[in-house]
Amino acid sequence: MMRWFVAWFALSLGVGTTAHAALPDFTDLVVKSTPAVVNITTIVDGKPQPQAQIPDEMRQFFKQFGMPEPSSPGNGHSAPMRGQGSGFIISADGYILTNAHVVADADEVTVKLNDRREFRAKVIGSDKTTDVALIKIKADNLPQVSIGDPGQLKVGEWVLAIGEPFGFENSVTAGIVSAKGRALPQDNYVPFIQTDAAVNPGNSGGPLINMRGEVVGINSQIVSRSGGYMGLSFAIPIDVAMNTAEQIKVNGKVSRGRIGVSIQNVDAELAESFGLKKAGGALVSEVEPGSPAEKAGVEVSDIILQYDGKPIERSFDLPRLVGATKPNSKVKIAVWRKGAMHELTVQVGEMPSDKAGVDGKDKTEMAGLTVTPLNPDQKRQLGIQSGVLVDEAQGIAARAGVQAGDVIMAVGNTAVNNARDLASELDAKSHKTVALLIKRGDGTSYIPLRLE
């Protein structure tokens, strides 16, 4: 008994055993990283609700007894919806990365910095396919994150997640990389990083950081039966996100390659039936007529094993590689056909843009305004030389008093004739409030519009 106690005591002190490695200290990483992490609040204005109709027999009842009709439920607008998320600053002049779903349909986006300053943000663009959005605030000399290389991540490596779960600002959680290149249902273009760092609603858009203090991913999704964290968190690799952001910034859209095939995974049984030594590749089940694949000679039952020199281990590897290829590029692919390897050259096409998923100048950047240019006849009838017709006014524009049917003739003393003119003038103003010259009916007046 005494021998057992001595052995246990020695083990507890590390005597005669290999010293255990100390747990990592994250304090320096947190101090370095948190100044560039932001909290994002969004507002989606209430939408018009249909007015409930009172049945005719009820109308007769109230009329018969001289009673006023009750007010109809459902008329007016629904209450504005608020949302919260996270993001991080990628440039000192105010560009911020977050998730597309954080700012989706938002009429207002507000960014709060670590130093408690708040700014109205503009959505430069968003891409639903990768769930990446680029937003911007008017500020300079901001702290920014360091960008890392997700390709160097190793399974088992420690990582940090910083964000605003359930509204708790600047919360830090730690975990390890659980897996790389993870495919999720309906996400064919993102090789997710899986971690066990606790991520909850509000963490979306926040950074995933390695032990060198570099951002390696954007926390995006969880798998949960309860709605909260259950040990499975997924982040978009930062190289995928930065590529998307750069395309949005430069081109106003995201271009992706396509070759026009339907594919499926190759399991062991299929591999044996096609004469492959091991399972792998992407089995072509359909070739779109007239597609780049058909023109290159790809056939149904081909198994694509390589694309541009890169192996296709699983079928979902192919869409990622094709999507990342610049349209019109010529790429060599290796296919397994009837027991032999064949090399084909395909000229990659371009995937049609998802106009709803990639937005350049949107309602948020136009201060909640949707406008239509006036033709010369309309201007002549109205007796004006410039102006745009307001089709819809939401957010800050509606609160300022702008209405659908108004004509915006100028911003300050600068005439506007189209949406681009209006956006340019609103964007160019350095002060927080601008004056819109509005024609409504027979009268004209200035309406002050507070931009921030």
Please indicate whether residue 301 is annotated as part of the active site.
no
C-alpha–C-alpha distance, residues 364 and 136, integer Å: 11
Give the per-residue pLDDT at 227: 75
pLDDT band at 162 (very low <50, low <70, confident <90, very high): very high
Give the per-residue pLDDT at 1: 43
Give the per-residue pLDDT at 419: 76
C-alpha–C-alpha distance, residues 86 and 77, integer Å: 28
Q: CA-CA-CA-CA torsion for 313, 314, 319, 321, nearest 10 degrees?
A: -20
Residue with tokens 């957010």: 395
Q: CA-CA-CA-CA torsion for 363, 364, 366, 367, nearest 10 degrees?
A: 120
Domains detected in the chain: 146-251 (2.40.10.10), 257-350 (2.30.42.10), 369-450 (2.30.42.10)
Give the per-residue pLDDT at 336: 95
**Mean pLDDT value of segment 40-64:** 63
Please indicate whether residue 131 is annotated as part of the active site.
yes
Percent of the chain with pLDDT over 70: 83
**Residues 282/319, Cβ–Cβ less than 8 Å:** no
**Mean pLDDT value of segment 405-415:** 86
Question: Catalytic one among 45, 107, 127, 131?
Answer: 131
**Mean pLDDT value of segment 324-344:** 94
Give the per-residue pLDDT at 429: 53
Question: Catalytic one among 101, 146, 354, 424?
Answer: 101
pTM of the model: 0.69
pLDDT digits (tens, 9 = 90+) for 53-81: 556 655 554 555 455 555 544 555 556 78
pLDDT digits (tens, 9 = 90+) for 2-22: 444 434 333 444 444 444 567
Give the per-residue pLDDT at 41: 94
pLDDT band at 203 (very low <50, low <70, confident <90, very high): very high
**Residues 123/364, Cβ–Cβ less than 8 Å:** yes
pLDDT band at 375 (very low <50, low <70, confident <90, very high): confident
**Mean pLDDT value of segment 380-393:** 85
C-alpha–C-alpha distance, residues 227 and 58, integer Å: 44
pLDDT greater than 90 at residue 299:
yes
Question: Catalytic one among 86, 126, 171, 204?
Answer: 204
Higher pLDDT residue, 200 or 376?
200
C-alpha–C-alpha distance, residues 281 and 274, integer Å: 12
Least confident of 113-117, 343-347, 348-352, 448-452: 448-452
pLDDT greater than 60 at residue 360:
no
pLDDT digits (tens, 9 = 90+) for 335-359: 999 999 999 999 999 987 643 333 3
pLDDT greater than 80 at residue 131:
yes
**Mean pLDDT value of segment 264-292:** 91
pLDDT band at 260 (very low <50, low <70, confident <90, very high): very high
Mean pLDDT taken over the chain: 83
Please indicate whether residue 77 is annotated as part of the active site.
no
pLDDT digits (tens, 9 = 90+) for 210-235: 999 999 999 998 887 777 788 899 99
**Mean pLDDT value of segment 169-184:** 92
pLDDT band at 433 (very low <50, low <70, confident <90, very high): confident
pLDDT digits (tens, 9 = 90+) for 279-295: 999 999 889 999 999 99
pLDDT greater than 80 at residue 426:
no
C-alpha–C-alpha distance, residues 61 and 186, integer Å: 55
